[in-house]
A and B are shown apart, each in its own frame.
Chain A
Amino acid sequence: MAAVIAATGVVKSFGEGRAARRVLDGASLHVHPGEVVAILGRSGTGKSTMLHLVGGLDRPDAGTISVAGEPVTGTSERALSRLRRRRIGFVFQFFHLLPELSGEANVLLAGRVRGAAPDAAARGQDLIDRLGLREVARSLPHQLSGGEQQRFAIARALVNDPPVLLADEPTGNLDTTAGAEVLRLLRAGAEEGRAVVMVTHETAAANIADRVLTLRDGQLIG
């Protein structure tokens, strides 16, 4: 089976002159559909950077990346937007729900973006039900618990039915119970055929992964 995420020889540096620091130095990552990959590593080693590069949120200095057969590197901003819209779902540590919108509206927001999947709204409603969020769907983010917020964020990430789910410290801001529930949902996402890449520094989170990679000295080590 072909890898849905294929990143090879990725290089990324930050800073200039003496302050320049190469956080990724030829890192490679290949993930297949239905697979959950956890990336571990100490703070500042470049885990999130790797995720951002795979998701087309940032551009590498060198290397090639493709997602679902579409190139991420060397492509236009418009093509990257299309890729993020239809092929990639993001889940962030701090949820990033818009505070003025209800949980439901936050989920449906991704479906309102120009070029979103036509059935995104129906899928969003279905996800809200499946993730047990109907009761609190009309509540604003500040009225929700951390676990509920993260479940809404996962629903939002899945609303366009992407083949890739990228999660950046998805349990980092949650208690153990809520964290376990989120991990279960990510695992369920993979079982539906998605490739899930999760950046974490919690070993418990890594337990649900099919593969665990460690980022050290700019390289992903299996």
Chain B
Amino acid sequence: MIRDALAALRARRGRTVLAALGVLAASLVVGTSVTVGYSLATGFERSAERAQLPDVIARFPEQRLRRIDARVSALPNLETRSYRFEALNEDVSGNGHYTGKGAVTTVFEGRRGYTVVDGRDVRDGESGAVVVERGVAREWDLHVGDELSVEEHGTLRVSGIAVSPDNVAFPLASTARVYVSRAEHGGRVRPNVALLWLNDPDKADVTLAQARAVTFGLGKLQFITRTGVEILLSQAAGIVISLLVAFSLVALVAAGTMLAASAHAEVQRRLTGLGVQRALGFGPGRIAAQQAVEATLLAVPAAALGITLGALLVARPAAELLAALNELGPGPTGIAVPLVLSTAGVVALVVAAATWPAWRAARRPPIEILRGGDLARKPRGRARRRGESSGPLGHKSHPNEPAGRGSGLFALGVRFATAARGRWFAAVATIAVCAGVVTLMLALASLLERLREDPGTVGKRYQLAVQLDPSLIPDAERLPGVRDVGERYSIDAADSFRLGEPIRLVAYPGDHTRFENPPLAEGRRIQRPNEVEVGVGMADALGLKPGSTLAAQIPDGGEIRFKVAGIVRALENDGRIAWIQPDKLLATRPDLNPQVVVRLDSNSNAAAVTEGLVELGAELQPVGAAQTDNAAFLAVLAAVLRGVGLAVGLVCLYALVQALTVTARERRGAVALLRATGADAPTVGLVLAGAAVAVAVPAAIAGVVLELAIFGPAVSRLAASFASLPLGASVGQIALVIGGLLLLAALATLLVARRVMREPIIAGLREE
């Protein structure tokens, strides 16, 4: 059977090559998506394992090693620990580059919490050597053996390059991290960071609560858990992964539909051959099996090649993205398993798409197959008979009555496209998913830009923030264009019951919704000083609901408690944010200084107001959106998303051309007949335009509905379950997608019409 299949493939070499190219193109997309998606999805865990990232990182003011170790070693659930001294804002320079934001980490004995990816680690007691974070090495083009100048330590030689996934990489993170040994300080250095590895990481809360208790008095104690690090790092990548998975699925659905449609048309073309085979005694099973073998022989090399090429194509960009996140790639062996599984999936899809129509056709009686005819299902129910019903004016009504004169040929095209309902539906579904993804890409790219620049996306209603003597607030209120001015307090704290959970408290005297108005998800707004509105992210993490108690540990303060009045959808700080009135906060931290926030009239001149504020002595501060710190990264992501949108648009065009080609090929006889009656290229184009519009218009509508009802909410939930990401497409974006799709339909019509007009009329008439 394999020999027969090979001979059959060789006999129609041109078609075989075309089909293989189609499989290869679809596999290429799958390969790229799987490589990037898998690398990103597993990046943190892989890197954390390699780097032996601790379960808890505790930061505190410098302490004597013996004193801090006595307390730490007594903690429950502790497997092991090590210490560091971290000096921030140090001058670091090398290879012509300089930063004043160096983080010089002195490592003590024990586990490091980073992995050396090139060269070697600094040895305990070794001086003159430094390990450089990979981000710094890449950005400054540093290699093992190069020299690096580090404040206080002078010139050091780079002994190794390291990766630690507890933060994003330089320059995405502004600090340039380097690691030196204690010998650089002559052994006289006291730690300010403790790395803790736990026996049972799930019980980190117990350890943290105990740590809080035994280290009471240390002051400025900050904890971050491994889970917390992962949440922070995966936030941006999470969106990318969701999109890539969606894109991969779209590519698979599109490729599957195209392959199925092509296989259907191929079977239609070979119907006579199948009929002869059946007449000679071949069973439907044997015919389907032969088809399956042929498809397998074609799909295996094409899919393997496509997926390998796709993986190679994105290996470097994926590595760059991982490097920016301070994560390690899976390596050739790590990525091999998902790629092999993807290849198997593509082959299975191709084989099913090719075998099913052959099986369907071969089950019909041989004589019926030999007689030819469309594979499309015949009308269901009782056959319509002449004179069955009468309409007004004595005309017999008919369900298939053609449209009026003006729309005759266009409507004929619509009928051609919708005649094979299953395939029409598949084509509409494919293009609808593509259109939905494109709409989503546009909405997401806009959102990323707004997250970077527009404080309104996180519910902020003020436009300016300044440092200003609160006694000057009435003067600020009198400035033209100013609508409202108020004090805003903000402090990062920790939940008293689960110390690994960082929370941000924001306080306004009076009604905070004048300046920040995150949508209320549950409960009500705060009305009293002992009440709090918490973000969904925090509520989910801490199990809070209206009526619960939130206990917050304030740095250098005590514990303050609030009753949860409402849950709000907040995007800032991963939703780990709460709004309160400042009374309790100021009681425990009277030294806290407020920002002064300014809300402008809708048509006011921000520059003029700023000038007025500066004249009052105000010092301007940036008004943060959700991701202001990662502005450059978000800009890159927005560009990537638009690029992916364009690629999906091309898939749309391919799907439209494919759907039209199959329709034109199946209705070759009808088109030939039209040409025989004198139809010229524009007339044939009109018929094909009808067929294209019959697919494109419902697909565009369904695509927009998909985005608004499913994709947008789903991606929003996946990327940021703690907030309502405004991922609904704007009217302009919807118009762009629908217009674009109609333009693609016109382009597809033009391409297919040109091809159809080149075919001999006689050949088409013979097929009919």
Contacts and interface: CB of A to CB of B under 8 A. Distances in A.
A77 interface: yes
B386 A96 contact: no
A151 to B, nearest CB: 15
Contacts of A143: 383-386
B678 A135 contact: no
Given A96-B768, A109-B408, A135-B386, A101 B680 contact: no
Contacts of B400: 100-102, 140
Contacts of B683: 113-114
Given A98-B412, A108-B408, A109-B408, A160 B673 contact: no
B678 A112 contact: no
A86 interface: yes
Interface in A115-166: 115-116, 121, 135-136, 138-140, 143, 156, 160
Nearest to A121: B405
B709 interface: no
A92 B768 CA distance: 11
Contact of B678 (A52, A108, A115): A115
Interface in A145-189: 156, 160
A136 B385 CA distance: 10
A94 B765 CA distance: 10
Interface size class of A (residues with CB under 8 A): 35 or more
Given A101-B402, A108-B408, A78 B677 contact: no
A90 B677 contact: yes
A132 to B, nearest CB: 14
A109 B412 contact: yes
B398 interface: yes
A32 interface: no
A58 B384 contact: no
A52 B387 CA distance: 38
A47 interface: no
Interface residues of B, number: 39
Contacts of B681: 77-78, 81
Contacts of A116: 678
B765 A81 contact: no
Contact of A81 (B384, B412, B669, B680): B680
A145 B387 CA distance: 15
Contact of B405 (A86, A94, A112): A112
Contacts of A86: 678
Given A81-B678, A112-B408, A113-B678, A57 B757 contact: no
A116 B398 CA distance: 26
A196 interface: no
B385 A160 contact: no
Nearest to A48: B762
Contacts of A121: 405
A160 B401 contact: no
A96 B678 contact: no
B584 interface: no
Interface in A61-98: 77-78, 81-86, 88, 90, 92, 94, 96, 98
Given A94-B768, A138-B395, A58 B760 contact: yes
B678 A110 contact: yes
A4 B670 CA distance: 28
Contacts of A46: none
A76 B765 CA distance: 21
A105 interface: yes
Contacts of A55: 676
Interface in B656-684: 669-670, 673-683
A136 to B, nearest CB: 6
A161 to B, nearest CB: 13
A102 B402 contact: yes
Contacts of B678: 81-86, 88, 110, 113, 115-116, 160
A57 B762 contact: yes
Contacts of B762: 52, 57-58
A140 B384 contact: yes
B384 to A, nearest CB: 7
A112 B676 contact: no
Nearest to A85: B678
Interface string B438-479: 000000000000000000000000000000000000000000
B680 A96 contact: no
B318 interface: no
B676 A90 contact: yes
Interface string B393-409: 00111101110010011
B389 to A, nearest CB: 10
Contacts of A114: 679-680, 682-683, 686
A110 B397 CA distance: 22
Interface string B683-721: 100100000000000000000000000000000000000
A158 to B, nearest CB: 11
A15 B527 CA distance: 92
A100 B386 contact: no
B383 to A, nearest CB: 8
B761 interface: yes
B673 A98 contact: yes
Contacts of B677: 84-85, 90, 109-110, 113, 156
Nearest to A89: B677
B172 interface: no
B384 A112 contact: no
**Interface-central residue, A78, A85, A102, A112, by most chain B CB under 10 Å:** A112
Given A81-B678, A85-B678, A101-B400, A112 B768 contact: no
B126 to A, nearest CB: 82
Contacts of A108: 402, 405, 408
B9 interface: no
Given A57-B765, A82-B680, A160-B678, A113 B405 contact: no
Contacts of A92: 765
Given A85-B679, A156-B677, 12 more contacts: A58-B760, A81-B678, A82-B678, A84-B676, A90-B677, A96-B669, A98-B673, A101-B412, A109-B412, A112-B409, A140-B400, A160-B678
24 contacts: A52-B762, A55-B676, A57-B762, A77-B680, A77-B757, A83-B678, A84-B676, A90-B677, A96-B673, A98-B670, A100-B416, A102-B398, A102-B402, A105-B401, A108-B402, A109-B409, A109-B412, A110-B677, A113-B409, A113-B678, A114-B682, A115-B680, A135-B386, A138-B398
Interface of A: 52, 55, 57-58, 77-78, 81-86, 88, 90, 92, 94, 96, 98, 100-102, 105, 108-110, 112-116, 121, 135-136, 138-140, 143, 156, 160
Interface of B: 383-387, 395-398, 400-402, 405, 408-409, 412, 415-416, 419, 669-670, 673-683, 686, 757, 760-762, 765, 768
